[in-house]
Amino acid sequence: MRKVPLAADVDLTQVAARTTGFSGADLKNLVNEAALTAARDNLVEVNNHCFEVAHDRLILGEERDAQLTPEEREAVAYHECGHAIMAYYMPKADPLTKITIIPHGMAMGVTEQTPKEDKYNYTESYLEDRIKVMLGGRSAEKIIYGEVSTGAQNDLKEATKLLRRMVGQWGMSEKIGPLGLGIGEEHVFLGREMGAPREYSEKLAEMIDSEIQSQLLAFEAFTVSFLTEHRQELDALARAVMKRETLSAGEITEVLEEARSRETA
């Protein structure tokens, strides 16, 4: 970092806050990528925008020029805003960093959260809020369009995988109780692991599968209800991100506060 000339708008504290969990090699790559961005733009100093571009390229992948229809673009906006509103309001969720509907890598849009600090231990309430954020995009689609799309596939897969570990490995289910089973990652539901030796019965596997499905439905019902209550904010945030394409955490807060003030006026 000492060898890289920095512009006055670079706040190293802010850069560090967005790199929680980065290794030394990751940080070196970030600085190098920011310097390359500055060189491509013929800048003599690396400014904050260079770090933003470098961070997004490393974390989200290269920007992609996807030719979306207006309807698809709106659907992506509502999906990401569903994630964002859940992240904004859930007390244990990691803080929002930004929303973008600019496609990166395989993603059509991204809602970015950054932990305040490195985490080595996760509470049940933190994991529950994390699942609610994951289901926010799918739930927003349900509210706005009355159906869901394939865009929520990875969210649903990750939420199911996390719940499986909560129920089967970490003892976070009152119905199943304090069990720490050595369940693999090959299949989402235990009943699918037919050929693998197991330390639990078929009946227990069915109970765990049932509990995962039950909890997923409960989390989705909560998320749909919560976003329905905050529909005015959901609409306002979707309009804002469709207009600007990318919103910072501060801009998200401004949009939501303005929508709330109009609602109570």
Structure letter (DSSP) for residue 85: H
Contact 213, 207 (CB under 8 A): no
Q: How far is CA 220 from CA 92, 158, 210, 216, 224, in A?
A: 17, 14, 15, 6, 6
The reply to whether 245 belongs to the active site is no
Question: Rounded to an integer, what is the distance from CA 211 to the centroid of its chain?
Answer: 24
- Closest by CA to 98, choosing from 111, 108, 85, is 111
Contact 79, 140 (CB under 8 A): yes
52 backbone dihedrals φ, ψ, rounded to 5°: -60, -50
Determine the Cα–Cα distance for residues 157 and 155; give it in Å rounded to an integer: 5
Q: Spot the catalytic one: 62, 63, 71, 80.
A: 80
- Which tokens go with 61? 């992948």
- Length in residues, the chain: 265
* Catalytic positions, written as ranges: 80
